[in-house]
Amino acid sequence: MLNENIKSIRKSKGLSQEDLAVKLNVVRQTISKWEKGLSVPDSDMLISLSKVLETPVSTLLGEPIAEPKMDDLKGISEKLEVINLHLAQRKTTRRRILHWTSVAMCAVIAIVFAVLTVLDSPYLGWDYSAPETAVIGVGFHALEWLFVRIAPAALVVAVVGALLTRKQA
C-alpha cells in the first residue's frame, strides 16, 4: 500500500524518482526500493516524504488514493453548468433593470422639463413680500435652478446607459 501510494502521488505531482530523491537527499535507488516494496522509509523520512509530496502521512500509509471518477467529474461539470446559467440569468436581469431605470430617468427628466416650460417659471411672478410665500418661492426657485443645471448631464448619462444596456440582437 505504501509503495503504491508513494509512486502514484509522486507521478501525480509530476516528479521523477530522481527529482524526489534530490528533494529528500537520498539516492534514486532508495526511491525505487520504496516503490517496489523492497524497503520502507523510517519515520523521519516518512514525515519528510509527506512534506515534499504535500500529502498527509496517513494517506501515504494506508488511505487509498481516490482517483477522480468520471461520474464525479460529470457531476461537477453539471453543477458548474447550473452555476454558470444562474450567473448568466443574474447578469441579464441586472442589465434589464439598469436599462429600464435609464429609460425611466430619461422620461422623468423630459416630463419635468415639459412641466417647467408649461408653467413658465412661476417663481418669477411670485409674491416675495409675504414670508410664507417667499420661503416657498425661494425653495421652488432653488429646485428649478438646480434641476436646470444637473438635468442635462443626467439626461446624457441616462441616454448613454439606456443605449449601452439595450438588448443586443
Closest CA to 53 of 33, 31, 70: 31
Q: Which domain holds residue 79?
A: 70-164
Last residue of a domain, one of 61, 91, 107: 61
CATH code, domain carrying 55: 1.10.260.40
Q: Where are the alpha helices (DSSP H) in the chain?
A: 2-12, 17-24, 28-36, 43-52, 57-61, 70-119, 131-164
Q: Is 15 helix (H, G, I), strand (E, B) or coil?
A: coil
Task: Give a yes or no: residue 157 inside a domain.
Answer: yes
- Answer whether 0.75 is exceeded by the pTM: no
Residues 74 and 149 in one domain: yes
Residues 51 and 84 in one domain: no
Residues 37 and 80 in one domain: no
Residues of the chain with pLDDT > 90, as a percent, come to 29
Residues 74 and 156 in one domain: yes
Residues 9 and 77 in one domain: no
* pLDDT computed for residue 168 by the predictor: 67
Residues 50 and 81 in one domain: no
* pLDDT computed for residue 78 by the predictor: 85
Task: Give a yes or no: residue 169 inside a domain.
Answer: no
pLDDT under 50: residue ranges of the chain: none
The number of domains in the chain is 2
